[in-house]
Amino acid sequence: MPIHDVESLLARVADPAGDAILDPATGDEVGRAPVRSVDDLDRAVANARLAQPAWAARADEERVRLLNQAADAVEANAAALAELLSREQGKPLDGIGARFEVGGCAAWLRATAGIELPGGPLQAGDDVRAEVRYRPVGVVGAIGPWNWPMLITIWQIAPALRMGNTVVVKPSEYTPLSVLALVEVLNEIFPDDVLTVVPGGGDIGARLTSHPDVGKIMFTGSTATGRAIIRGSADGVKRLTLELGGNDAGIVLPDADPRAIAEGLFWGAFINTGQTCAALKRLYVHADIYDEVCAALVEVAGRMPMGRGLDEGNVLGPLQNRAQYDIVDGLVEAARESGAKILLGGDPDPKAPGYFYPTTLVGDIANDNPLVAEEQFGPALPIIRYHDVEEAVLMANGLDVGLGASVWSADPERAREVAARLEAGTVWINAHGMVNPLVPFGGVKTSGFGLEFGVEGLKGVALPQVLNG
Ligand code: NDP
């Protein structure tokens, strides 16, 4: 199996005439990404459609074997993939960063290969017989974001391939090289045209969404683009899995131990420097322990090094792009002007290179402040004081999003009672944002619909057929 370094991977996927991709930590050019046309996309879909019947006709054991080999290939190339990911996305090699993401890709491929396929008898009596089978959809379109570009691509493609679909991937314009390099490594294992990447602009995503030969779209990104995908796919009544924006609430109950939960709260909110769909984005803390929780968070946050991802030891990096930096900066400034208290951070250095925004904690903030009500998607956490749990539940449920949520308490039973009342696809107890390849994950409200991971994720990229009689 070929083992690449970053430069050889880049040489295989980059295009000297393409768009310059800049390192968000330094502004240095990482490489030039090809920009494909809608005609290229049409050709990729046509080839994927031609390749699909033979891929589906292989025995499931064969697809399982290839998914496991793909995991081996990712592991063999992990150093180069992690370095490229760190340079393009900005995330540190260390911590819950680039090495973690690449390791997650291999782990997810293996776990997806190991799931028992869905389907089987529903009723098997003398008079009534019914069974359900899950057949491939055909060609699946996978449209991904820039925050976890490799891992989310794997989340989309691994179940689709396992179920006998072929896949055409449209990566984010911000992080195309990471996805191209990952697929380059995977395609040393998979047959031609089973898995194709078409990098380019929003026109590629829009065409993939409305393409008559694409049966299903897996999408992770903003709610606005999710709405465009619903509209674009309506004529074909296409199957959709939409994992859209969130604004996850965490509720700390009055019996929680501030010091014991501080590090979990911190990583729940600041994983990937806050650029995670299911990160903790607004924290509700009971008045009895509000000051202690704030102090414990300031202590933990203050000792987490932020810097260039390739420098070992950093665990937080820059924002991936200028637009996201401006969103975070604008929200924190508006919070400061409203009278909220900056407990840590704020005040980025405008002359410093890179899109580094300091780790920021904002206290004494009203629930209707934009930093609470809007998705910041960056390293700035608002901490809201509440006086009774009813009020906290109302505030947590008060937005039109519902990806994740969490409840923090010394009494897990009490936490579960509160969790059951939260309007979110997943509610974690004394943790936030932990995903597992065998546990279904998806949003409610405008955070999307459809489940990823586990057997539900396999069903999501298949067409059920009931045989009755
Ligand atoms: P977008 O939703 O704009 O982009 C996600 C993907 O959709 C990209 O590959 C994009 O391509 C593609 N796309 C754009 N337009 C269309 C279209 N009409 N049809 C189909 N696909 C399309 O997210 P951004 O990256 O711009 O981030 C914006 C905000 O979204 C962030 O501020 C954050 O709040 C949220 N977000 C949420 C994520 C999550 O994990 N839930 C991840 C990333 C962002 P292209 O790059 O070419 O525009």
Residues 206 and 285 in one domain: no
Residue 213 belongs to some domain of the structure: yes
Question: What pTM did the predictor assign?
Answer: 0.97
Would you say the CB of residue 221 lies under 6 angstroms from ligand 1?
yes
Would you say the CB of residue 170 lies under 6 angstroms from ligand 1?
yes
User: Taking a C-beta distance cutoff of 8 angstroms, is the pair 197, 190 a contact?
Assistant: no
Q: How far is the CA of 46 from the centre of ligand 1 (A)?
A: 25
Q: How far is the CA of 241 from the centre of ligand 1 (A)?
A: 14
**Contacts made by residues 171-175, CB under 8 angstroms, sequence distance 24+:** 171/144, 171/197, 171/199, 172/144, 172/145, 172/146, 172/221, 173/19, 173/33, 173/199, 173/200, 173/201, 173/202, 174/21, 174/146, 174/320, 174/321, 175/21, 175/88, 175/89, 175/146, 175/149, 175/320
Residues 357 and 218 in one domain: no
Would you say the CB of residue 206 lies under 6 angstroms from ligand 1?
yes
* Mean pLDDT in residue range 364-387: 98
Set 88, 243, 375, 452: catalytic member = 243
- Using the structure block, give the residue that is written with the tokens 């009203």: 366
Residues 162 and 37 in one domain: yes
Taking CA atoms only, the protein residue closest to ligand 1 atom 48 is 202
Residues 197 and 271 in one domain: no
Does the annotation mark 277 as catalytic?
A: yes
Q: Give me the chain's average pLDDT, please.
A: 97
User: Taking a C-beta distance cutoff of 8 angstroms, is the pair 49, 139 a contact?
Assistant: yes
Per residue in 120-147, pLDDT (tens digit) is: 998 877 777 899 999 999 999 999 999 9
Report the residue count for the chain: 469
- What is the distance between the alpha carbons of residues 327 and 331, in angstroms, rounded to a whole number? 6
Residue 365's domain is classified under what CATH number? Answer: 3.40.309.10
A 10 A CB-CB count for 389 gives 18
- Using the structure block, give the residue that is written with the tokens 């010091």: 259
Residue range of the domain that includes 25 = 6-244+447-468
Residues 141 and 223 in one domain: yes
* Mean pLDDT in residue range 217-238: 97
User: Taking a C-beta distance cutoff of 8 angstroms, is the pair 152, 142 a contact?
Assistant: no
Residue 1 belongs to some domain of the structure: no
Domain count, the chain: 2
Per residue in 181-205, pLDDT (tens digit) is: 999 999 999 999 999 999 999 999 9
Residues 42 and 57 in one domain: yes
Residues 271 and 210 in one domain: no
Residue 442 belongs to some domain of the structure: no
Q: How confident is the model at residue 238 (pLDDT cuts 50, 70, 90)?
A: very high
Taking CA atoms only, the protein residue closest to ligand 1 atom 16 is 202
Three-class SS state of 1: coil
Residue 439 belongs to some domain of the structure: no
Residue 154 belongs to some domain of the structure: yes
Would you say the CB of residue 448 lies under 6 angstroms from ligand 1?
no
Would you say the CB of residue 156 lies under 6 angstroms from ligand 1?
no
Residues 81 and 200 in one domain: yes
Would you say the CB of residue 172 lies under 6 angstroms from ligand 1?
yes
Residues 77 and 130 in one domain: yes
Q: How far is the CA of 171 from the centre of ligand 1 (A)?
A: 10
Residue 228 belongs to some domain of the structure: yes
Does the annotation mark 105 as catalytic?
A: no
Residues 67 and 17 in one domain: yes
Residues 227 and 255 in one domain: no
Q: How far is the CA of 79 from the centre of ligand 1 (A)?
A: 27
Q: How far is the CA of 221 from the centre of ligand 1 (A)?
A: 4
Set 173, 184, 277, 423: catalytic member = 277
Would you say the CB of residue 141 lies under 6 angstroms from ligand 1?
no
pLDDT of residue 462: 98
Residue 90 belongs to some domain of the structure: yes
Three-class SS state of 165: coil
Residue 37's domain is classified under what CATH number? Answer: 3.40.605.10
Residue 441 belongs to some domain of the structure: no
Residues 152 and 254 in one domain: no
* Mean pLDDT in residue range 329-356: 96
